[in-house]
Amino acid sequence: MKAKIDRIVESRETKAGLYFDYIIQVLILLSIVTFTIETIPDLKAETRTLLNHIETVCIILFSIEYLIRIYIAKNKFKFIFSFYGLIDLIAILPFYLSFGIDLRSARILRFLRVFRLVKLIRYNRALRRFNLALNLIREELIMFSVVSVILMYLSAVGIYYFENEVQPEAFSSIFSSLWWSVVTLTTVGYGDVIPITVGGRIFTFIILMIGLGIVAIPSGMISSALTEARNIEKKEKKAKGE
């Protein structure tokens, strides 16, 4: 019995498993929609009652799903404290905690319901491929992030020495120059803080060119990794005979 339930809950290879995934996804989206509608002011009492009923049904089904997953887990303790286990718990916990708590203080618990969207990760193959792609280039992304932080700091130092004397308020320190560095390297360019010296403008042009690379390089890395992840998924399917 446990093996049959496991195939339904943890696998999409059977029709029952596929339907189970779709039902949970619909429930998650339905719960998020009701949560969003609840924030509309001056809702009719009948509407709020209907939304509460829908929320109660969703919670009951999410709770059953959570208990089933604990039941079929080989290591129950490990599942409960795993990423998905904690997300599943957070998705239902606010509903039970709100009982016996002043409604005003319970409002903050309702915010945790948005974590149900994270549950969709469990059922989305595309997101699984994206997770695999990130794992493939994890070291490169870490190194790139470190280099980006270094470049951000160096650009803040550079613009400080170019602009501090003529714009002491805008570039009063390296810390204040970091804001300019962030918006310039990311090519956002809000224009709230701009260089006015010749050296500062030339330096800004160089930083903008570097910023274009900072935006483009991760995109290329992720695109390549996603292609590799898809190839890995195809090989796994062939190995399973799908």
In a domain, 228, yes or no: yes
pLDDT at 201: 92
Residue 238's SS3 state is helix
Round to whole Å and give the CA distance between 210 and 215.
9
Q: What is the largest CA-CA distance in the chain?
A: 77
Mark whether 113 and 188 lie in a shared domain: no
Mark whether 71 and 13 lie in a shared domain: yes
pLDDT tens-digit readout, 19-58: 888 888 888 888 888 888 888 888 899 998 999 899 899 8
The total of other beta-carbon atoms located within 10 Å of residue 200's CB is: 22
- The CATH number of whichever domain residue 219 belongs to comes to 1.10.287.70
Q: Is 86 exposed, middle or buried (0-12, 13-18, 19+ CB in 10 A)?
A: middle
Domain count, the chain: 2
DSSP string across 115-181: GGGGGHHHH-HHHHHHHHHHHHTHHHHHHHHHHHHHHHHHHHHHHHHHHTTT-TTTTSSHHHHHHHH
Residue type (1 letter), 76: K
Mark whether 105 and 50 lie in a shared domain: yes
pLDDT at 211: 84
pLDDT exceeds cutoff 60 at 185: yes
Average pLDDT over residues 189-218: 86
Mark whether 119 and 140 lie in a shared domain: no
Average pLDDT over residues 125-152: 83
Round to whole Å and give the CA distance between 205 and 211.
10
- The CATH number of whichever domain residue 48 belongs to comes to 1.20.120.350
Reported confidence tier of residue 104, pLDDT bands at 50, 70, 90: very low
pLDDT at 90: 82
Average pLDDT over residues 187-193: 78
In a domain, 89, yes or no: yes
CB of 58 closer than 8 Å to CB of 76: no
Residue 17's SS3 state is helix
- The conformation of residue 195, written as its DSSP 8-state character, comes to -
Q: Where are the alpha helices (DSSP H) in the chain?
A: 2-10, 15-38, 45-72, 76-80, 83-97, 103-111, 120-123, 125-136, 138-163, 174-185, 198-240
In a domain, 156, yes or no: yes
Percent of the chain with pLDDT over 70: 86
